[in-house]
Amino acid sequence: MKTKIFLIVPLFILTCLGCHRESSVQLIEVKYYNHTIESVLGPTWEAVLNGEYPEYLEKITVSDKKICDSIINQVKTLLPMKKEAIPDDCKTDMQCIVHYSNSLKADTLLIGDWCISMNGIVMKDNILLVQMIRRHSGYYNPTAKSL
């Protein structure tokens, strides 16, 4: 019985350590509203993101190292926006979760026309970042994703 415990306990500890190990791969998960579906009045982004209308949701994972590095470099340049400058009509249609290599940290970006928020904080707009994410996720042409 003691031999089984001595074998099981180290195995359990190694398994737990493996589960909590930092990720060595950086990747970006992108979800966006599929605007190519023809409808007079489509569902809200919140309803699509919550899974109520899966046909409107596009999902892609960006894992190319050069692309991820370029996007992460732009994410690092984001600066918070002053409260009085926050646009009232910020309508998001994209969510990006940026997973960093060798880190348990991940940042969540909500992107819309002329507005970005990171982890719930509205940021100054970064057109280059938005264009890079949209281009490499297939947002501009969902049938020809570049990844």
* Confidence tier at 130 by pLDDT (50, 70, 90): very high
Count other C-beta atoms under 10 Å from residue 52's C-beta. Answer: 12
> 92-125 burial string, b = 16+ CB within 10 Å, else e?
bbbbbebbbeeeeeebebbbbeebbbbeeebbeb
> CA 63, CA 43: separation in Å to the nearest integer?
29
Least confident of 6-10, 74-78, 104-108, 132-136: 6-10
Question: What does the pLDDT look like over 31-78, one tens digit per residue?
Answer: 998 877 666 677 888 888 888 989 889 999 999 999 999 999 999 999
Please report which residue ranges of the chain form alpha helices under DSSP H: 2-19, 45-49, 65-75, 127-137
Please give the model's pTM, rounded to 2 decimal places.
Answer: 0.73
Q: What pLDDT is recorded for position 41?
A: 75
